[in-house]
Amino acid sequence: MYSTVDNIKESFKLAWNHKLLWIVAVLAVGGMNFGGSSGLGGDKDENSDKNKNEIRQDVRFNYIDDTQPVKINEKVLGAATNALNSGSVGTMVGEEIYPIDSGGLISAVPGIIALVFIFSLLVIFNAVISLLISSWARGAFYPNVLKAHKQENYNFKSLGDAGKKYWKRYIKFILYIFLKRFLSFLPFVGIGIVSGVAAFFVPDFVFIPLLLMIPVFVWFFAYNIALGFVEEFSLRILVSDDIDTKSCYKKGWEYLKTRPGKSIKLALAWILAIGLLFAVFFGVAGTITYLIYQLIQKQALVFVGLLLGFLIFVVFMAVFVVATPLIVTAGAFAWTRLYLFTRETLEPPADVAKEVLDSMYRTEATNV
């Protein structure tokens, strides 16, 4: 008898016992991306001409007078006239105007275009490499998850062989799902266009197409969640059945329609389980951090507090590194178990089907 709670418990046990799958687990779901931003800023000194001189030296704008900036309240008209005659554009700092050479800005346009082009190529290159790695990793991961669940043997070689065998099939499916998600945005684009036209021609009725955003957003949210469930089933169907991408996608919907309630329960239970794990993790980390802070406040225990803090940091980083592939692998086992349970309903094994047919024939003979 299938149980969502038992499924999650058993999935974590399986994930812990099959650490070899951790190698490709994170890559299979797209890897981990770390990003950040930083900014530089400074305070403004209104009473000093030093900052203005530094600006003139660093930026190298062409001024009317390099030593005596034009005062707005004295020579605004003259500065503007000279700037126009010299083909330059004015920029204002505080109460002073500095004309700059517009030719320099125009000459910088090709460089900016080149930078944008190079950046776009790097983004595309990164996307292609990520797609290839993810496709190979999924091809290596999911077939061996099925093997591990069936208690069949696998090794490094079988991981590589599976990735080599299935990567093309998975890359087609990844692009197909991406297309489906992209198309789900089109209703918003259509409503935006209709709203823009209505605002131009009949502004009093512009609220009507905007009201459509509410049901469209509800549909979009529900559809993409369902698409995630279909993707989970289809990732396993790709291994089990030798069918094309479109047929695999349709079959994924059949699996979801067969077990919609259990799919939703598994998703919600999984979110709750991972949320509790993270709550415990960060709760313990926060408590230890507070205790270390209290130790550091005491002068005699500063060194002890810093050393303890470093050791705790190393331990928690190690736990995080281990927890990430463990959670990914456990999630794969959980959906695999639900997939196999649903498959038995839709496509029972030959011996089970034979027994059911024999029972039907016996019942029919008895009725005769």
DSSP run (H or E) holding 345? helix 302-346
CA angle 136, 138, 141 (to 5 degrees): 110
Q: What is the pLDDT of residue 264?
A: 95
Q: With 50 as the cut, is the pLDDT of residue 303 above it?
A: yes
Lowest mean pLDDT among 242-251, 296-305, 351-360: 351-360
3-state SS assignment for residue 29: coil
- pLDDT of amino acid 99: 52
Mean pLDDT for 37-50 is 41
Looking only at the bridges linking them, the beta strands covering 70-71 and 88-93 are unpaired
Residue 364 has pLDDT above 80, yes or no: no
Half-sphere exposure of 265 (CA within 13 A, CB side): 12
Contact 63, 75 (CB under 8 A): no
Nearest Cα neighbor of 217 from 251, 187, 253 is: 187
pLDDT tier at 54, thresholds 50, 70, 90: very low
Q: What is the dihedral of CA 257, 258, 263, 264, to 10 degrees?
A: 60
pLDDT band at 125 (very low <50, low <70, confident <90, very high): very high
For the ranges 81-85, 239-243, 244-248, 323-327, the lowest mean pLDDT is seen at 81-85
Q: Is the dihedral of CA 158, 164, 167, 168 positive or negative?
A: negative
**352 or 111: whose pLDDT is higher?**
111
Question: What is the pLDDT confidence band of residue 352, given thresholds at 50, 70 and 90?
Answer: very low
pLDDT class of 302 with cuts at 50, 70, 90: low
Whether residue 56 has pLDDT greater than 70 = no
Q: Would you place residue 277 in the very low, low, confident or very high pLDDT band (cuts 50, 70, 90)?
A: confident
Nearest to 231 by CA among 134, 349, 87: 134
Would you state the pLDDT for residue 38?
36
Q: How far apart are CA 302 and CA 300, in angstroms?
A: 6
Tell me which range, 57-71, 227-241, 269-283, 314-328, is most confidently predicted by mean pLDDT. Answer: 227-241
Name the most confidently modeled range: 293-302, 316-325, 330-339.
330-339
As beta bridge partners, residue 71 has 96
List pLDDT tens digits, range 60-76: 444 444 444 444 444 44
pLDDT of residue 88: 46
> 106 exposed, middle or buried (CB, 10 Å; 0-12, 13-18, 19+)?
exposed
Task: Tell me what pLDDT residue 176 has.
Answer: 95
- Nearest of 230, 229, 222 to residue 249 by alpha carbon: 230
205-224 average pLDDT score: 86
Give yes or no for residue 238 having a pLDDT over 80. yes
pLDDT of residue 361 exceeding 50, the answer is no
Residue 305 pLDDT level (bands cut at 50, 70, 90) = low
Average pLDDT on 325-336 reads: 92
Position 209 pLDDT exceeds 80: no
- The answer, yes or no, to whether residue 205 has pLDDT greater than 70, is yes
CA distance 148 to 219: 37
State the burial class of residue 296 (Cβ atoms within 10 Å of its Cβ: 0-12, 13-18, 19+).
middle
Pairwise CA distance, residues 231 & 106, whole Å: 49
Q: In the prediction, which pLDDT does 61 show? A: 42
- Residue spans of the domains in the chain: they are 4-21+111-346, 53-107
Residue 32 has pLDDT above 70, yes or no: no
The pTM for the full model equals 0.68
Return the minimum-mean-pLDDT range out of 141-155, 187-201, 215-229: 187-201
Comparing 208 with 367, the larger pLDDT belongs to 208
